[in-house]
Structure 1
Amino acid sequence: MPDVHPDRISADPEVNCAECMKKMPLSAAYDPDDMDYEENFCARECYEAWTRKMARERAGGAGGEEVKE
């Protein structure tokens, strides 16, 4: 294992935003009150985009593909 200077070890780990994949300290992650998932988001906008995407995926998976005639 390589030697790592103690000043380079962060007490706050970095995480990626679940939507845009931006790296950020865990302490800076957006934390909505009603979150049932263990995802991290850099901003409210990314959280909202991610929830819309998840809702579309659930709707598409629940009833299969919509058939238009």
Structure 2
Amino acid sequence: MSFTDKVKNKAENAVGVAKEKAGAATGDRELQAEGKAEQSKASLKDAGEKLKDAAGNVQDAFGGSKG
């Protein structure tokens, strides 16, 4: 996972947390749900990047080349 991807995912998660908290504070359930959705999206992206990294590590362990 590139550093840029990590930063983007963390930023997206932080925006989601802020929206969720703002929605909770104001009673705006739609904003709260939007925040939770953004957090989930960021988590899925992060998991996908980790999976790609793991696949690359397995390939390296068996002497394969990334490509």
Length-normalised TM-score, structure 1: 0.37
Quick one: higher RCO (CA 8 Å, sep 6+), 1 or 2?
Answer: 2
More strand by share: 1
Length-normalised TM-score, structure 2: 0.37
Q: Is the radius of gyration larger for structure 1 or structure 2?
A: 1
